[in-house]
Amino acid sequence: MKGFFLTLEGLDGSGKTTQAQLLARFLEGKGIRVRLTREPGGGLKGVRDLLLKEDLSPEAEYLLFSADRAEHVRKVILPALEEGFWVISDRYLDSSLAYQGYGRGLPLPWLLEVARRATLDLKPHLTFLLDLPPEEALRRVATPDRLERTGLEFFRQVREGYLRLAEAEPQRFRVVDATRPVAEVQAAIQSSISKLFP
C-alpha cells in the first residue's frame, strides 16, 4: 500500500466528524492527497438509515455493519490507499468491537472472525480515540438516534471497551481528551501526526 490509513473513534458526540474534517484540511495544506470517509454508509447506500432507525438484534446490527464495512474496504479504502491517498475514516472496526462487543455483549472472538473476512484483515496505521465521559457525550447529542437512546450504562460499557482496545494496542492508538475545546483537540491530533513527517 502506498497510502496511510487513519481512523477516528469515540462515543457519539465526541467530535469525530469535526476533527476528521479539520485534519483533512491540515493534511491537504501539506500537499497530501486525502480521502475522507465514514461508517456506517461508506460502502452500502441506505445502510446508515437502516442501522440508526430500525429495531435490530445485536447480531443483525453487527452483520449489517460488517456488510457495509466489507464494501467500504473493497470499493473506497483499499483503492484510495493503492493510489497513495491518506484515508481518514470517521469510525471503522473498533466502533463495532466497542459498541456491539463491549456494549451489546456479543462475543469478541466471533466479531473478530467475521471482521477478518469483511475487512481483508485491513487495520488502520493510526487511530485517534476521542475520549470523554458518556454523560458529556450524550449531553452533546442534539437529536439522539436509536443507538444513542440505549442509555447511560450502555455508553459506559462502550467507553470502557474503547479504552481496553487502546490499552491493548498502544502503538496504534492515541487517546485524546475530547472534553477540551475543538481547537485544542485538533492541535493534539496535528502534533501527533506531525511526528510522522520527516
91: left (phi over 0), alpha (psi -120 to 50) or beta: left
89 is in an annotated binding site: no
16 is in an annotated binding site: yes
127 is in an annotated binding site: no
Q: What is the DSSP letter of 77?
A: I
- 95 closest CA partner among 76, 114, 69, 73: 69
The cell for 136 is 458529556
Residue 127 in 3-state DSSP? strand
12 is in an annotated binding site: yes
Is the C-alpha dihedral spanning 145, 66, 39, 135 positive or negative?
positive
Distance in angstroms (rounded) separating the CA atoms of residues 61 and 148: 14
How many other C-beta atoms lie within 10 A of the C-beta of residue 143? 5
42 is in an annotated binding site: no
Asked if residue 20 lies in contact with residue 70, where contact means CB atoms within 8 angstroms, the answer is no
Residue type (1 letter), 70: A
10 is in an annotated binding site: yes
14 is in an annotated binding site: yes
101 is in an annotated binding site: no
Name the binding residues.
10-17
Name the binding residues for ATP.
10-17
